[in-house]
Amino acid sequence: MSASEKAKAVAEQAGGKVKKEAGRAVGNESAAAEGAATESKGDLRGAKEKTKDAFKH
C-alpha cells in the first residue's frame, strides 16, 4: 500500500468516525450518516490498496 493512499484511508476513517460520533452526540442524524459514509469510504480505500498489494507480491 502506498504511503499516501494509506494516509488518505486512515484520515477518511478517522474523520468519518469523529463526524459520526459528533452527529450522534448532538442528535444530528444527517451528520452521523455523512460521517458513517466517509468512514466507509476510508475502509474501502484501504481494502482496495491491500488488494492491489496482494496482487503485486
Burial class (CB in 10 A: 0-12, 13-18, 19+), 56: exposed
Q: Which three cell numbers stand for residue 33?
A: 450518516
* pTM score: 0.83
The predicted pLDDT at position 32 comes to: 97
Cα gap 2→25, rounded to integer Å: 35
CA distances from 51 to 4, 9, 11, 47, 55 (A): 16, 14, 19, 6, 6
**pLDDT beyond 60 at 1:** no
The predicted pLDDT at position 53 comes to: 85
Confidence of residue 54 (pLDDT cuts 50, 70, 90): confident
Residue-wise pLDDT tens digits, 2-46: 788 889 999 999 999 999 999 999 999 999 999 999 999 999 999
